[in-house]
Amino acid sequence: MIEVCRTIRTPPDRIFAVLADGWSYASWVVGAAHIRAVDDGWPAVGSRVHHRVGPWPLQVDDLTVVRKMEPDRLLELDARAGPLGIARVRLVLEPVSATTTRVRMGWRAAAGFARLVPEAVLSLMLRPRNSETLHRVEDLAMHRQLPAP
């Protein structure tokens, strides 16, 4: 599994609020280009975000499915990317203090073409991409206005 980690100066609930907003998915996932629909109940297990991936005009309609979810702690996804296959993505939120959270993002090829590529080669491409993904999560968690409870 290819893993990146980022320590964010905000509590887990603010970070999870970003992950739990399916309409924000394309704002933090590098490569997701457009959200077409979000299932009611996202991020409940089995719910989906319907998105497009890839650069325009070569975008492919696909989807991401929630495999596991624990509020403010864990989100595991099967992210589909057309012919590249399916990636298993695991986001774990670990409180460091009352105001700081360590986010670990693990990625592995679960099906498709990406499974044929050696992990060392995938790592060269995916570590920077996944680090940017966590940077985007941080920006959203730190700066967006959350709805009132």
Domain presence at residue 19: yes
Domain presence at residue 148: no
Instruction: Report the C-alpha gap between 108 and 89 in whole angstroms.
Output: 7
Query: What is the length of the chain?
Result: 149
Domain presence at residue 38: yes
Q: How many domains would you assign to the chain? A: 1
Task: With CA atoms as reference, report the closest residue to 51 among 71, 34, 70, 73.
Answer: 34
- Structural domain for 95, as ranges: 2-143
CATH number of the domain enclosing 24: 3.30.530.20
Domain presence at residue 138: yes
Strand partners, 79: 64, 87
Instruction: Report the C-alpha gap between 54 and 37 in whole angstroms.
Output: 17
Domain presence at residue 13: yes
Instruction: Output the tens digit of pLDDT for each of the chain's 149 residues.
Output: 999 999 999 999 999 999 999 999 999 999 898 999 999 999 999 999 999 988 888 888 999 999 999 999 999 999 998 777 899 999 999 999 999 999 999 999 999 888 888 989 989 999 999 999 999 999 999 998 766 55
Domain presence at residue 149: no
pLDDT in tens, 73-89: 999 999 998 777 899 99
Cα separation values, 67 from 1, 82, 85, 88, Å? 17, 19, 16, 9
Would you call 136 exposed, middle or buried from its count of C-beta atoms within 10 A (0-12, 13-18, 19+)? middle
